Amino acid sequence: MQRAAALVRLGCCPRTPGPWGRSQSSAAAEASAVLKVRPERSRRERILTLESMNPQVKAVEYAVRGPIVLKAGEIELELQRGIKKPFTEVIRANIGDAQAMGQQPITFLRQVMALCTYPNLLDSPSFPEDAKKRARRILQACGGNSLGSYSASQGVNCIREDVAAYITRRDGGVPADPDNIYLTTGASDGISTILKILVSGGGKSRTGVMIPIPQYPLYSAVISELDAIQVNYYLDEENCWALNVNELRRAVQEAKDHCDPKVLCIINPGNPTGQVQSRKCIEDVIHFAWEEKLFLMADEVYQDNVYSPDCKFYSFKKVLYEMGPEYSSNVELASFHSTSKGYMGECGYRGGYMEVINLHPEIKGQLVKLLSVRLCPPVSGQAAMDIVVNPPVPGEESFELFHREKESVLGNLAKKAKLTEDLFNQVPGIHCNPLQGAMYAFPRIFIPSKAVEAAQAHKMAPDMFYCMKLLEETGICVVPGSGFGQREGTYHFRMTILPPVEKLKTVLQKVKDFHIKFLEKYA
């Protein structure tokens, strides 16, 4: 009796419910009513289907980890199972994942991280004093002196201070305020958070977001998720993928017919296109944003990856300040950085920051509120970010090793950028712009009309067809240009330059051989 009473209290009528319970009661009528419908119920449809799911999520595409990468995974499994292929390994040149390609972590960064993770090591003589000093400082700023506590939603205070100091140094003294720094879960998190706050309106007043074409597909994916309007501006392939302000004007004018363009996204150095913007071009972009009342988002995660001796990285923040107070106190700008790229390549830690200036104070509150829902970015990633912005300096014990490691990575990348450009341009039907920065080649490839027809027969974009063939015949995994966007009728692929030099040479030779064979086959 007591059990039945308890069940009634919980609102659960006792009955004879077959598989879902064992209790017996007088409410048999109700139970048998339930039993009668069961055969129909047991064949019930899923609640969550392609038809019923969020259509904005369904519309999302993300080529960098899309079908080509799934195929690469299948081929790897086949190789493991001993199935014979014309190659022995899959080379994942689809994603900028340096350490997966064999790049070694920066010793100092990992030493500080290990000390933070397991503070007993602070007593160990095998760790340098400067690493211990960094670790102690980070831990002192963490709740309970532990990486295991939540941080403030905006990030650990002293790390935000270090980021601000880094930006000030980088920009030759242009001040940065720790209060404008937000640590993030990689740059992607910051970019999608800012876009999330910006998107509003319906119909013709829906927010338009201007993005470069080719773009990094995070942008199109988030725009799709948010049901915002993607406004394409095309980079000028004939001029080393330069950003042409006339093209921005064309894009914004056309967009005004069907949406409210409110955001301009810039990727500098470019991904996938590798161009580095000139100072003058940045000025013109900022002026354009000012004129058109656009919120500027500057994706500057490749700021350390500039290889061409004729190019230099200028931050949007620095140029904005140098343009005078009318700009520097008016233009809303969010700039993004990450631990994943540069010379450290710590992708797995998901560290990043954004600096957001000229934000309306009320919006600052809204941003912190939104960030607080996810509690905080990974504190280990925040610590990694700290080392990126606060590395050993001359005179410190670890400086020499750090400097050697950093220069070696960046020197190698510069060498590989040149090598890739040169080798691609030796292949008939491939044209590759200079890789001024970032980590990718985005060569244009000629695809003969017979191959275009073959692709159509397979219901594939022609460059997807090309990349699938390349993967199947050589094991090299690259991403079709259609995943990034390209001018109608042109075809490209994105390939990272991260494999070690000798391997990269082999990869490039294989692409060359494949391409020549491909042209012959579909001539």
First to last CA, the chain: 85
Interface with a copy of itself includes 125 (CB under 8 A)? no
Cβ 368 vs Cβ 154: under 8 Å: yes
Say how far apart CA 181 and CA 176 lie, in whole Å: 8
Interface with a copy of itself includes 180 (CB under 8 A)? no
Structure token digits, residue 377: 């970015």
Site for a copy of itself in 61-100 (CB under 8 A): 61-62, 64-66, 95, 97-100
Q: Of 314, 324, 275, give the one whose Cα is nearest residue 436.
A: 275
Site for a copy of itself in 348-367 (CB under 8 A): 348-350, 358-360, 362-363, 366
Site for a copy of itself in 185-224 (CB under 8 A): 185-186, 188-189, 192, 196-200, 217-218, 221-222
* DSSP alpha helix (H) spans, 256-377: 279-291, 316-322, 325-328, 361-373
Minimum distance between the CB of residue 517 and a copy of itself, rounded to whole angstroms? 30
Count of residues that bind a copy of itself according to CB under 8 A = 130
Say how far apart CA 191 and CA 209 lie, in whole Å: 12
Say how far apart CA 376 and CA 422 lie, in whole Å: 44
Count Cα atoms within 13 angstroms, Cβ side, for 372: 7
Minimum distance between the CB of residue 170 and a copy of itself, rounded to whole angstroms? 21
Out of 24, 124, 425, 456, the residue judged to bind a copy of itself by CB under 8 A:
124
Q: What are the two backbone dihedrals, phi and then psi, of residue 90, each rounded to the nearest 5 degrees?
A: -90, 130
Interface with a copy of itself includes 312 (CB under 8 A)? no
Nearer to a copy of itself by Cβ, of 86 and 309: the residue is 309
Cβ 311 vs Cβ 437: under 8 Å: yes
Interface with a copy of itself includes 459 (CB under 8 A)? no
Interface with a copy of itself includes 295 (CB under 8 A)? yes
Site for a copy of itself in 1-40 (CB under 8 A): 7, 9-12, 17-21, 23, 34, 38
Nearer to a copy of itself by Cβ, of 410 and 516: the residue is 410
Interface with a copy of itself includes 148 (CB under 8 A)? yes
Nearer to a copy of itself by Cβ, of 248 and 427: the residue is 248
* DSSP calls for 277-294: --HHHHHHHHHHHHHTT-
Out of 68, 111, 265, 416, the residue judged to bind a copy of itself by CB under 8 A:
111
Nearer to a copy of itself by Cβ, of 302 and 491: the residue is 302
